[in-house]
Amino acid sequence: MTKSLYQKEHLVHLNKIKNLAPEQLHAFAEFNSTVLKEGALSRKEKEIIAVAIAHVTECPYCIDIHTNSAKAEGATLEELIEAVFVVSGLEAGSAVTHSTHMSNALDTDANDALYNRSNLKNLDQLKAAAPEGFTAYSQFSAAAMKAGILTAKFKEIIAVAVAHATQCPYCIDVHTKNADKQGATKEELAEAVLVTAALLAGGAYAHIANLIESYGE
């Protein structure tokens, strides 16, 4: 028995699913392959988004599979790393924007609605309480989203996908508007969100390999 919970060899267990849950496996495979087909977004762009989302789900199998798929579609290492820095910036941004709930919790007159766009005005309180850290965060966020090897438009599309994976309503709102300003279409954004859905489903699917490994120990 290996001491490592993550071994590529574990993936062989996925071959058993066709006998254990054939209908569900077929539906998942159709969903996954359909979502990753060429559309408003190219296969390369979709695989870059998939690599980004795999870093949100922290699924090493998905990172490995989709990194190789993205490379096969022509994605460069620089493009993939820039995409992952968008993830990093969005993960930080989700924590920062949710600090508004901390401010509301300490305000006895705060509105009972937990998610209002107007909550974002309370970010000034975080900035006032930790100015150096907030400034450093702001600079990092700007650097992560700045056009580089990847365009500003595509980074915003990635950001919308990531925001749906982190389930941050503030991030969805802000980056959907930013993506629109950069010229992203509804079709591109919809396809990006469905890649997110497929990767969230795929992370659970891939970890069935670990379930089967543990069950057999």
Query: 3-class SS at 71?
Result: helix
For residue 91, tell me if it sits in a domain. no
Domain assignment present for 103: no
Question: Considering the domain boundaries, does residue 141 fall inside one?
Answer: no
pLDDT tens string for the chain (217 positions)?
457 778 888 889 999 999 999 999 999 999 999 999 999 999 999 999 999 999 999 999 999 999 999 999 999 999 999 999 999 999 999 998 888 887 777 777 777 777 777 878 888 888 998 999 999 999 999 999 999 999 999 999 999 999 999 999 999 999 999 999 999 999 999 999 999 999 999 999 999 999 999 998 6
**CB atoms inside a 10 Å sphere around CB 32:** 17
**Residue 118 maps to a domain:** no
Give me the domain span that covers residue 40: 8-83+147-215
Cα distances (Å, whole numbers) of residue 153 to 102, 128, 131, 136, 144: 32, 31, 30, 24, 13
CATH number for the domain spanning 75: value is 1.20.1290.10
SS percent in the chain: helix, strand, coil, step 5: 75, 0, 25
101 domain residue, yes or no: no
Structural domain total, the chain: 1
State pTM to two decimals: 0.92
User: What is the distance between the alpha carbons of residues 104 and 113, in angstroms, rounded to a whole number?
Assistant: 10
Domain for residue 22, yes or no?
Answer: yes
